[in-house]
Amino acid sequence: MGLSIEWRNPLRIVSFCLFVMMMLTTSAVEAKVRHYKWEVKYQFQSPDCFRKLVIGINGKTPGPTIIAQQGDTIIVELKNSLLTENVAIHWHGIRQIGTPWSDGTEGVTQCPILPGDTFFYKFVVDRPGSYLYHAHYGMQREAGLYGSIRVAVPDGVVEPFTYDYDRTIILNDWYHKSTYEQATGLSSKPFVWVGEPQSLLIHGRGKFNCSSPTIGSSDTCNTTNPQCAPYTLTVVPGKTIRIRLSSLTALSALNFEIEGHNLTVVEADGHFVEPFVVKNINVYSGETYSVLVKADQDPSRNYWLASNVISRKPATPTGLGILNYYPNHPSNYPPSTPPTGPLWNDSDYRLAQSLKIKAHPSHIIAPPVETDRVIILLNTQNEIDGFRRWSVNNVSFNLPHTPYLIALKEKLRHKIVQPNPNATASNAIYRLKFNSTVDIVLQNGNSMVPNTSETHPWHLHGHDFWVLGHGKGKFDPMEDPKKYNLVNPIMKNTVPVHSYGWTALRYIADNPGVWAFHCHIEAHFYMGMGVVIEEGVEKVGKLPTSIMGCGETKSLIRP
Amino acid sequence: MGLSIEWRNPLRIVSFCLFVMMMLTTSAVEAKVRHYKWEVKYQFQSPDCFRKLVIGINGKTPGPTIIAQQGDTIIVELKNSLLTENVAIHWHGIRQIGTPWSDGTEGVTQCPILPGDTFFYKFVVDRPGSYLYHAHYGMQREAGLYGSIRVAVPDGVVEPFTYDYDRTIILNDWYHKSTYEQATGLSSKPFVWVGEPQSLLIHGRGKFNCSSPTIGSSDTCNTTNPQCAPYTLTVVPGKTIRIRLSSLTALSALNFEIEGHNLTVVEADGHFVEPFVVKNINVYSGETYSVLVKADQDPSRNYWLASNVISRKPATPTGLGILNYYPNHPSNYPPSTPPTGPLWNDSDYRLAQSLKIKAHPSHIIAPPVETDRVIILLNTQNEIDGFRRWSVNNVSFNLPHTPYLIALKEKLRHKIVQPNPNATASNAIYRLKFNSTVDIVLQNGNSMVPNTSETHPWHLHGHDFWVLGHGKGKFDPMEDPKKYNLVNPIMKNTVPVHSYGWTALRYIADNPGVWAFHCHIEAHFYMGMGVVIEEGVEKVGKLPTSIMGCGETKSLIRP
């Protein structure tokens, strides 16, 4: 789907919009099993005008949007048509209750899918809201293998806000070097850093300066390529649009702004938010928001959609799209200078916005007032045996080649140990008492660049958690919990820990399975910034053999 | 090993040479099991001064040379440390008698080796001679995953020629684009051809013109990088050196010449040749030769080693190395213009050289005088459903994801049909009567470029074959067999079929297993130019489960 509308024909746009709205309306009352057939394959694409190899789904990046209604069963029949590479896809924000083997996390919940193989992901979308999917194997997400999931409320249920129609926008950053080159650099001695992304994409489209001296032969970059025509969002004056906004950046924290328009934040990671109005919104990799935008400005012109890098010193130009007021021509560039976003290093601004996000008054799910266990996770960057790594409590995480879920459920001879604070690298896991309440405090520390502390968006699989608090400096386990918001904390699956700050979250370990919890920056997880958490694995049903076939799980397959 | 000797210190060179010779001498009487531990991994390398990602073995491309003696058992413990890619390595020229599962041909004899997995290749090197190994999965060979195997004669056995010492030179061509980009182009509609290689490598070293306008940022190309210092072969005046010369080009047919020195051809693909002297030698991808070179020229200077493209209009500069007369400084460039090779389109010259290669009089293995079956394989290029493909008898070959050896041996429900001349694409096989004699006549046809017929070097796995004849034009099944050489035909595993010509070969189907027979040009095999041949599969021993785990073989694995 997406919103890449043909430019030149306004009639086409209107009929397209009618078609989309009709489809959405009818789909909401359709059958409860939604079966998708996807083929994953390499293709050449020029998302930012620079031609490179991407991994597409049915020929597209971003891939097809999954459109469903709460309670539906999704079946994605995924055929791997890559030549020599395996694949796995994670359904980001879907809790996989009863289907932990469908989480799509290579090394944690499944073996990778081999070239030529077809894997069936089957799961229930049990909550309405805006979610994502993306590759969860190596660094394949960065190759373009991602998309969105939109789950409607059940028939007769009303959301606590109104809008005329909705659209999905996935923000991204984009590298010209391949994921192999990036990964090889990250694991080289000495460390080779790929640098800042070349472009910011708004729903798969950006614009690289093709006359830059850093690119080679001119046939690889062409600013007139329709594949990099700016993303255009057409609005009808006076109407209110819901934008399902998310980020799947490899590296960048982003700020999104629509020139001259306020954004009313109404949803975060599938939960209704006490509405608040912002001029622009910070979105971290792995987060989704819904924002309402009223087309209430001068309708005689178009406006900029803009994404800007925050939290790191920007070296990537603003990502631009067009808010098109119907019936202006969608390709008319706005007559103004695009928004440049807030100061990149204004961490107070970012902290303040994080603190604004609270549950909607009529949709509060109260957290348990007490916790059974507190786990503090200190995030640092280290040099280990000459390799640049990220560590959590001084342990840098390595994904094993026997997936945890299978190893633990099938009691394979597999090294399962509690993290050892003296260890430097490990694939150890946290085991939680089933149904217990656990607090996790993310404590930010230094990177290896002096006086630098990066923002890390942490994503938990299999769960939503309550965000109890964010704070500056070192977490005080005696004092800070007294300030926790236990009244109306928002639930999320991804939350940032700000520079030199801390973030406290709570959840109930009530979803049998094994779940990754990690920084959603692709390079950071690859460099060790993650942990794996087990709960009630003995309650997990019979594992499908389709998730097996790698590491020590080969011998478990029976006809 | 190879011969990349330190430049600046002649003493070092001498001691290095002594060490190598000592090692070779002692290794010939060492233990009979040679165990190698290899790790396959991405790394940055600049073989032709242009920095790109290569697949190395233990950090090297070309990989380590396997040095063994006839009858030894080789164990290669291969760890796949690629991030998301599988791998498989073929032992080119080793017949794998009794171990067809160690042939390393993905889709034919094994499933690919997953990241993190360690696979044990175990086989006997049952004949002396010069052989190769290389990736046999997707187009990974082109990423630098290749090396050589050198098998000495048994103690007390004397070869029919003498020399003072020997060296290995693998010729190659080299692309700057990744194998993924190449493969994606080849399977795109419309077809995207990667073009001619950027460089020719002499044992892993070439020299690209870094000031070429086709390359981007200058940090990726540096002509002073020691990784692309020319390959240097140091000779002692008056001595005779044996060069074990081979080609593993992706595309190019090559001619190799040593300025001012004759080459005496004494071995081809592990078989002793009736010696003949040439000024230069044509080497096709997959072939190995031994040539003797006497250092009998003016010792006060160095000489060029040169490889030049033949059979296709050259668009790749001459590959250059240095023949260094000790004690001249090895980095002294020869004072002359490098050899430019024969005329690229002189097919008579190439045919004549092919016809010169006959078995050594005292090492003739007589072929059966009669054959049981004749298979004529017509090589053509076609357009199939809009895809550019190569076909054999109008059938374009697709590798299946369930390896033939396992499918046939374990009688899996697997489509096994004889090739249908009306089919356009197939994964069908030829089934031969065990111990029968079969003739294969390769008949060259047109490519899709008008009036063009490319040279195809065909490589047979699991066997050597007698080369009975080469001819021009259309093979005449009544007349041409009368001219077959049944007296002293050379045995080989790789043989070219020349432009618009035919090549006839004979072998005995006496090696139980399933064997690929295909054009050794990487792109041609990928585009369908191959067949698979089965013989006596019921006689194959119990298959190791380590080759299973893909396609329909998953369920066959038992603990």
Secondary structure of residue A179 in the 3-state scheme: helix
> How close, in Å, is residue B458 to chain A by CA atoms?
23
Which residue in B has a C-alpha nearest to residue A111's C-alpha?
A: B114
Using a CB-CB distance cutoff of 8 angstroms, which residues of chain B are in contact with residue A111?
Answer: 114
pLDDT single digits (tens) B416-460 = 444 444 445 566 789 999 999 999 999 998 888 888 889 999 999
Q: Which pLDDT does position A446 carry in this prediction?
A: 81
The shortest C-alpha distance from A323 to chain B (Å) reads 35
Q: If pLDDT is split at 50, 70 and 90, which confidence band does A406 have? A: very high
| pLDDT band, very low/low/confident/very high, at A411 (cuts 50, 70, 90) | confident
B94 contacts: CB under 8 Å, gap ≥ 6: B123, B125, B131, B149
Q: How far is the C-alpha of A553 from the C-alpha of A138, rounded, in Å? A: 20
Using a CB-CB distance cutoff of 8 angstroms, which residues of chain B are in contact with residue A216?
214-216
β-bridge partners, A444: A379
Interface confidence, given as ipTM, is 0.91
Q: What is the rounded CA–CA span in Å between residue B106 and residue A115?
A: 11
What is the reported pLDDT for A23? 47
- Taking only residues 277 to 316 of chain A, the set having a beta carbon closer than 8 angstroms to any beta carbon of chain B reads none
Q: Residues 66 to 85 of A: which have CB under 8 A from any B CB?
A: 83-85
Residue B82, both tokens:
């690629």
Q: What count of other Cβ atoms lies within 10 Å of the Cβ of residue A259?
A: 18
- Subunit contact B188:A44, Cβ cutoff 8 A: yes
| A183–chain B Cβ distance below 8 A for any pair | yes
Least confident span in A167-176, A390-399, A463-472: A390-399
d(CA B490, CA B468): 8
- Among candidates B53, B86, B213 on the partner chain, residue whose Cβ is nearest the Cβ of A84: B86
The distance in angstroms from the start CA to the end CA of chain B is 39
| pLDDT band at residue A426 under the 50/70/90 scheme | low
Contact B503, B497 (CB under 8 A): yes
At A194, the amino acid letter reads V
- Using a CB–CB cutoff of 8 Å, tell me whether B418 touches chain A: no
Q: Is B157 exposed, middle or buried (0-12, 13-18, 19+ CB in 10 A)?
A: exposed
Contact yes or no for A473/A501 (Cβ under 8 A): yes
Among the partner residues B83, B112, B181, nearest to A183 by beta-carbon distance? B83
Do residues B281 and B263 lie in contact, with contact meaning Cβ atoms separated by under 8 Å? yes
A54 has a chain B CB within 8 A of its CB: no
Section A87-102 average pLDDT = 98
Q: Report the alpha-carbon distance of residue A150 to residue B358 in Å, rounded.
A: 71
Instruction: Give the other-Cβ count within 10 Å of B235's Cβ.
Output: 25
Model pLDDT for residues A272-309, shown as the tens digit of each residue:
999 999 999 999 999 999 999 999 999 999 999 999 99
Q: What is the pLDDT of residues A340-374, one digit of tens each?
A: 999 999 999 999 999 999 999 999 999 999 999 99
At B452 the pLDDT is 86
Task: Tell me which chain A residue has its CA closest to the CA of residue B83.
Answer: A138
Give the separation between CA B310 and CA B283, rounded to whole angstroms. 10
Q: Convert the pLDDT of each residue in A19-31 to its tens digit.
A: 444 444 444 455 4
Which pair of structure tokens corresponds to residue B286?
């997959």
Bond prior to B299 in cis (omega within 30° of 0):
no
User: What are B7-53's pLDDT values in tens digits?
Assistant: 445 444 444 444 444 444 444 454 499 999 999 999 999 999 999 99
Q: Tokens in use for B115?
A: 């990241």
How far, in Å, are A222, B31, B75, B147, B508 from residue B35 at the CA level? Answer: 52, 10, 5, 16, 31
Report whether pLDDT(A146) > 90. yes
Instruction: Kindly report, residue by residue over B549-558, the tens digit of the pLDDT.
Output: 999 888 777 5
pTM, rounded to two decimals: 0.92
The answer to whether A135 faces chain B, any CB pair under 8 Å, is no
Mutation for testing the A interface, residue in B39, B42, B84, B398 having most A CBs under 10 Å: B84
Asked if residues A540 and A402 have their Cβ atoms less than 8 Å apart, the reply is: no
**Residue B421 confidence (pLDDT):** 45
Coil, helix or strand at residue A226: helix
Q: Do B85 and A87 touch (CB under 8 A)?
A: no
Cα dihedral B65/B67/B72/B75 (nearest 10): -30
Instruction: Using the predicted structure, report yes or no on whether residue B180 has a pLDDT greater than 50.
Output: yes
pLDDT at A432 over 60: yes
Residue B97 confidence class, pLDDT cut points 50, 70, 90: very high
- What pLDDT, on the 0 to 100 scale, is given for residue B13? 47
DSSP state of A424: S
Task: Give contacts of B86 with chain A, Cβ < 8 Å.
Answer: 84-86, 114-115
Alpha helices in B154-313, H assignment, sequence order? 179-186
- What residues form DSSP beta bridges with B432? B535
Distance from CA of B359 to the nearest CA of A (A): 40
The beta-carbon neighbor of A180 closest among B42, B139, B545 is B42
- Chain A interface, best mutation among B42, B55, B81, B83, by max A CB count within 10 A: B83
Query: How large is the average pLDDT for residues A52-62?
Result: 97
Strand, helix or coil for residue B464: coil
b vs e for B218-233, b when ≥16 Cβ sit within 10 Å of the residue's Cβ? eebbeeebeebbbbbb
Question: In whole angstroms, what is the distance from residue A5 CA to residue A324 CA?
Answer: 11
pLDDT of amino acid B376: 96
